[in-house]
Amino acid sequence: MNEEKEVEEQSKPLVLEKLEAAHADALLAQDEVRGTTVVVVRKERAYAVLEYLKTDPELAYIYLVDVTAVDNSRMESELMQFDYARFMVVYQLYSYQGQCRVRVKVPVHENDLSISSATGLWRAANWLERETYDMFGIHFEGHPDLRRILMPDDFEGHPLRKDYPLRGRGERERFNFDKQNV
Amino acid sequence: MGLDFGPDTGQDGNIITTTIDKVVNWGRKNSLWPMPFGTACCAIEMMATLASKYDLSRFGSEAIRFSPRQSDLLIVSGRISIKMMPVLKRIYDQMPDPKWVISMGACASCGGVFDTYTLIQGVDQFLPVDVYIPGCPPRPEDLIDAVLQVQQKIDSGTLPKGVSHY
């Protein structure tokens, strides 16, 4: 048992080694969940870390799989330790070269919902960040076209926030055909 | 059809007496042109209904039109969100009269399991639904039965007064 554990410790992921060397001050935490390396990154340094992960020739996380967010406002777990940031923006990256994934989590406080857009790195981030804005209200600074993508344009609120009621605030009943440009 | 055969005149054909209502309804009910509005898994069952195994054309409804202006039977099969409902209403408005609506499946009829902020809890709030089909999703036989019920409804109806052309 002990030997196995030692073997695991020896095979530390390359991405963690390199991040610790290059961006040690940006890392808040690190973990491994079901074979995927998870790093929690300070918001101010998130863009630099993402850029590093993409452009470093040994890492080459050139594929942005997903951008989403998590509302931790009803969660009492270790995730809340980062100065009680309500939201956690999550980037899922994949490296064809290393055939491995990394998950970058960025705590975002409720009183400052802005975060740098990753559209300058991956064009795929455009719609994914629009969805995150639509559902959670995260403002991606530098996004070329930050509009709602799923909900109607006149929708109010951000429905995937935990304080948004499941059955809505009367959108189904206050339905107005005239406001829609079909 | 309610045709009454008249006396044999001894000539080439028989005389048939009937009413305009019955003739027009007979033509309409056996030549329904459905407009499919498939947004979810019910649409898969609808496709199966139209395909060779279940073969809706046996009942005269095989002429699926993807233009609402050429169809008279709207089959709403699937979830309708508050963003999609204006589109559906627009399509219904574009269909020429007379027209009928089938609400296929639990989601179109009442929202189904999706009692959420974004989903219309039944398209009958905005459209005059003629036949509802329960099920999640309904089997193709259920859709065939619904089409037959629409046919019955057409058959039992009368033409509106003052219509000069049919």
Tokens at A92, concatenated? 């899922």
Closest-CA distance, A169 to chain B, in angstroms, reads 7
Interface of A with B in 97-156 (CB under 8 A): 150-152
ipTM (interface pTM):
0.72
Interface of B with A in 62-91 (CB under 8 A): 82-83, 85-87, 89-90
Tokens at B92, concatenated? 């219904």
Q: Is B16 on the interface with A (CB under 8 A)?
A: no
| Distance between CA atoms of residues A153 and A134, nearest Å | 10
Q: Tell me the per-residue pLDDT of A114-147, one tens digit each, with 9 for 90 and over.
A: 999 999 999 999 999 999 999 999 999 999 999 9
**Residue B81 DSSP one-character state:** B
Closest-CA distance, A52 to chain B, in angstroms, reads 39
**Residue A31 DSSP one-character state:** E
Q: Cα B68 from chain centroid? A: 12
pLDDT beyond 80 at A180: no
Size (chain A), residues: 182
Q: Classify domain B29-155 by CATH number.
A: 3.40.50.12280
pLDDT beyond 50 at B166: no
What was the pLDDT predicted at B2?
A: 54
Domain boundaries, chain B: 29-155
Residue-range domains of chain A with CATH? 9-141 (3.30.460.80)
Q: Is A182 on the interface with B (CB under 8 A)?
A: yes
Q: Is A159 on the interface with B (CB under 8 A)?
A: yes
How many other C-beta atoms lie within 10 A of the C-beta of residue B53? 8
Beta carbons of A108 and A140 less than 8 angstroms apart: no
Q: Cβ of B86 and A182 within 8 Å?
A: yes
Beta carbons of A40 and A29 less than 8 angstroms apart: yes
Beta strand pairing call for B4-5 and B16-17 = antiparallel
Look up residue A148 and give its amino acid: R
Q: Cβ of B85 and A175 within 8 Å?
A: yes
Q: Cβ of A177 and B119 within 8 Å?
A: no
Report which of A46, A119, A109 is spatially closest to residue A82, judged by C-alpha positions.
A109
What was the pLDDT predicted at A77?
A: 62
Q: Is B165 on the interface with A (CB under 8 A)?
A: no
Look up residue B38 and give its amino acid: G
Q: Tell me the per-residue pLDDT of A70-111, one tens digit each, with 9 for 90 and over.
A: 988 776 666 556 667 888 999 999 999 889 899 999 999 888
| Distance between CA atoms of residues B47 and B56, nearest Å | 10
Scanning A29-80, the segments in alpha helix (DSSP H) are 46-55
Q: Which helix (H) or strand (E) holds A106?
A: strand A100-108
Q: At what angle do helices A46-55 and A14-22 cross, to 10 degrees?
A: 130
**Residue B103 DSSP one-character state:** E
Q: Tell me the per-residue pLDDT of B133-147, one tens digit each, with 9 for 90 and over.
A: 999 999 999 999 999
Report which of B119, B133, B143 is spatially closest to residue B44, judged by C-alpha positions.
B143
| Distance between CA atoms of residues B147 and B64, nearest Å | 13
**Residue A143 DSSP one-character state:** -
Closest-CA distance, B106 to chain A, in angstroms, reads 17
Q: Tell me the per-residue pLDDT of B60-113, one tens digit each, with 9 for 90 and over.
A: 887 888 899 999 899 999 999 988 888 898 899 999 888 899 999 999 999 889
Q: Is A171 on the interface with B (CB under 8 A)?
A: yes
Query: What residues of B are in contact with residue A180 (Cβ under 8 Å)?
Result: 83, 86
E-strand ranges in A6-146 read 27-33, 36-41, 63-71, 87-95, 100-108, 114-116, 139-141
Query: What residues of B are in contact with residue A164 (Cβ under 8 Å)?
Result: 117
Beta carbons of B33 and B59 less than 8 angstroms apart: no
